[in-house]
Amino acid sequence: MHLTREEERIYDGERGWANQTCIRILVRLGELFGAEKLIPIDSAHVSGVSYKTLGGAPIEFLRTLADAGAMVKVRTTLNPQSLDSHYLREKLQENLQKPQLDILRQFERMGLTQSLTCTPYYLHRTARDSHHAWAESSAVVYANSILGAWTNREGGPSALAAAIIGKTPNYGIHRAENRRPNVTVRVETKLRNETELGALGIFLGKTLGDKIPAIKGLPNTSKDDVKQLCAAIATTGMTNMFQLGSSTRTRENQKIGVDSDQIKQTIEELSIASTTKPDLVFLGCPHSSLSEMKRIAQLVEGKKVRAGTEFWVCTSCHIRRTAAAYAKKIEKTGGHVLDGVCTVVSWTEKLGIKTIMTNSAKTAYYAPTLNKAEALLAPLEDCLKAAFQG
Amino acid sequence: MEGIRTAEALVSAKPISFLGGVDPADGKIIEKKHDLCGTCIKGKVLVFPHGHGSTVGSYVMYSLAKKGLGPAAIINQTADPVVVVGAIIANIPMIDQIDIAKFRTGDTVEVDGSKGLARILKHKDG
């Protein structure tokens, strides 16, 4: 790899251990994947925040890095944590909270913003064709496919290293020639809701591996709904972007058709609970947008959450503040708007939650392993019917 | 990544996930059905095809090394980001693009992280 004179100084340790360690990570990954140089990035998004999924392993490294004076050079956001600052904090034991706060503290010392969201694109606009280093696979697919921003699927450590150096190696879809679709997907049925779009993603992720599909047959899909496709396609596959619409030219002639049976079967395979009565009805994977908060608030206003059922809507603290009036309406029903937390990486099993109903295919996919819970997958309206009386 | 280390080889035919696959408390492989399940990686030249699983695995490698439970060196058939990053932050010499079929558990192996070379100094039964 070609390094500038300043990059060589960092590499040789003249700018301290923290910078040296971080640039070594970037250079080694660049060598591994055929990059010829480092390129500047506009932002980074770091995953690996929840104490529940991380355990104690990273705390020591993060602290050592912060002690050595590491500081991010670009705007860097953080993924959700394992609890929110109000509702779950009151319910969980101290020994689960302290290490989580310690992780956040170390990130804060290095200048990462406490955004705590999987949808950093609702906080800051990204310019078209700008380069980024994002972990969090759902946001990576959304950035490349919907926002036209360019990012590989980073891991937590490599995104952090990129943030501290302010650069990333230019391999993968940081190169224009690697961003062209190489398979055509024709959706041969009308997808009716966000859950069916998620099911399409689960199916395509399994089928396509790391291919870039040009997806035809999804007219007038809202950005809120297409977010489910982004999250799901990254859950089961290594695809980092897709193109929507019919004007795209593909590199190869491979074509795949997806029909209503395949969508139906995918939903049935994910919706495996032995009961129709969920302990938790959960919306907000990925984190809810302002418009989703508005829609949920309108649909639940004046209703009451069923006794014995939890109703959670997850979002960022940023959106929660912006949508304060909607959040109030949702909480008046007995439901909870949880900010900064992700249900999938939270301690649901410690709250006795054994069945989770959700409109998110990604959550339904992970709930059995990460939450030790059975999943029910259904669109928003059906989720609300299960959560509310009358 | 760099430096020369000599130690006894511990060889696996299976990929290793450091998150969930290795106990950070004692350095033992805990992944069920793994051919090294129950074996401790501490101080060994760990020879395996490649890593897999969560990128948090890199942090687990750091944590193991800090406690003195990490491998002395790593030899991979193919490099993957989790092990590459883990080896850098944990300061473990790691080399790849090596035919791992020639190594046997118990061989004495020298790993030169700077040159990307590994030699068997003494065969287990030799």
Predicted pLDDT of residue A55: 84
Of B56, B79, B88, the CB nearest to A156: B56
Please state the ipTM of this predicted complex. 0.84
What lies within 8 Å, CB to CB, of A125 at 6+ separation is none
Q: What pLDDT score does B1 carry?
A: 61
Q: Express each pLDDT in A131-178 by its tens digit.
A: 999 999 999 999 999 999 999 999 999 999 999 999 999 999 999 999
> What is the average pLDDT across A80-88?
93
Q: Report the DSSP beta bridge partners of residue B120.
A: B109
Residue A246 is predicted with a pLDDT of 65
* pLDDT at residue A258 is higher than 70: yes
pLDDT reported for residue A249: 65
pLDDT score recorded for residue A305: 98
Q: What is the pLDDT of residue A54?
A: 85
What 3-state class would DSSP assign to A281?
Answer: strand
Q: DSSP characters for A180-229? A: S--EEEEE-S---SHHHHHHHHHHHHHHHTT--EEEES-TT--HHHHHHH
The yes-or-no verdict on residue A390 having pLDDT over 80 is no
Looking at A237-306, list the stretches that DSSP marks H as alpha helix, in order from N- to C-terminal side. 260-270, 290-300
Looking only at the bridges linking them, the beta strands covering A43-46 and A132-134 are parallel
Mean pLDDT on A280-297: 98
Instruction: Give the count of beta carbons closer than 10 Å to the beta carbon of residue A352.
Output: 9
| Tokens 């700008």 -> residue | A130
Residue closest to A136 by CA, chosen among A44, A198, A53, A228: A44
Residue type, A67: D
Average pLDDT in the A7-29 region? 97
Find out whether A323 and A331 touch, Cβ atoms under 8 Å. Answer: no
Give dist(CA A129, CA A121) in Å, integer: 15
Q: In this predicted structure, what is the pLDDT of residue A293?
A: 98
Cβ-defined contact of B88 to A25 (cutoff 8 Å)? yes
* Helical (H) or strand (E) element with A81: none
B40 touches chain A (CB under 8 A): no
Determine the Cα–Cα distance for residues A265 and A323; give it in Å rounded to an integer.
36
Dist. CA A160–CA A103, nearest whole Å:
13
CA of A62: which chain B residue's CA is closest?
A: B59
Residue A239 CB neighbour total at 10 angstroms: 26
Residue pointed to by tokens 């999938």: A344
Per-residue pLDDT for A114 more than 90?
Answer: yes
Which residues of B are marked as active site?
54
Mutate to test the interface with A, among B88, B92, B97 (most CBs of A within 10 A): B88
pLDDT digits (tens, 9 = 90+) for B41-70: 999 999 999 998 788 889 999 999 999 999
Q: For the purposes of burial, counting CB atoms within 10 Å of the CB of A307, is it exposed (0-12), middle (13-18) or buried (19 or more)?
A: exposed
3 state SS for chain B: CCCEEEEEEEECCCCECHHHHECCCCCEECCCCCCCCCCECCCCEEEECCECCCCCHHHHHHHHHHCCCCCCEEEECCCCHHHHHHHHHHCCCEECCCCHHHCCCCCEEEEECCCCEEEEEECCCC
Any CB–CB contact under 8 A between B103 and chain A? no
Q: Report the pLDDT averaged over residues B117-125.
A: 93
Q: How far is CA A308 from CA A88, A276, A341, A358, A388, in A?
A: 17, 14, 22, 17, 11
pLDDT for res A247: 60
d(CA B16, CA B37): 11
Question: Which residues neighbour A86 within 8 Å (Cβ) at sequence distance 6 or greater?
Answer: none
Three-state SS at A77 = strand
Residue A385: pLDDT over 90: yes
Å between B79 CA and nearest CA of chain A = 7
Per residue, what are the HEC states of A147-193?
Answer: HCCECCECCHHHHHHHHHHCEEECCHHHCHHHCCCCEEEEECCCCCC
Tell me, what amino acid is at B75?
I
Of the candidates A21, A53, A56, the beta carbon closest to that of B88 is on: A21
Q: Which CATH topology does A271-387 take?
A: Aconitase; domain 3 (3.30.499)
pLDDT tens-digit series, residues A52-78: 988 888 898 999 999 999 999 999 999
Of A28, A47, A57, which is closest to B84 when you measure between CB atoms?
A28
Confidence of residue B32 (pLDDT cuts 50, 70, 90): confident
Q: Least CA distance to B58: which residue of chain A?
A: A157
Q: In chain A, what percentage of residues exceed pLDDT 70?
A: 98
Write the CATH number for B20: 3.50.30.10
Task: Judge whether residue A248 has pLDDT over 80.
Answer: no
Give chain B's length.
126
Provide the mean pLDDT of chain A: 95
Residue A310 — very low, low, confident or very high, per pLDDT cuts 50/70/90?
A: very high
| Nearest chain B residue to A58, by CA | B59
Instruction: List the single range of A24-28, A221-225, B1-5 with lowest mean pLDDT.
Output: B1-5
Cβ distance of B56 and A57 shorter than 8 Å: yes
| String of DSSP letters for A10-51 | HHTTTTHHHHHHHHHHHHHHHHHHT--SEEE-SEEEE----H
Share above pLDDT 70 across residues of chain B, in percent, rounded to a whole number:
98
Domain range annotation of chain A: 5-176, 180-269, 271-387
Give the rounded percent of residues in chain A with a pLDDT score beyond 90.
89
- Taking the C-alpha atoms of residue A358 and residue A362, their distance in angstroms, rounded to an integer, is 9
A189 pLDDT exceeds 90?
A: yes
Domain A5-176 - what CATH class? alpha beta
Nearest CA to A144 out of A212, A201, A45 is that of A212
Hey, are the CB atoms on A57 and B59 less than 8 Å from each other? yes
3-state secondary structure of A279: coil
Confidence category of residue B19, pLDDT binned at 50, 70, 90: confident
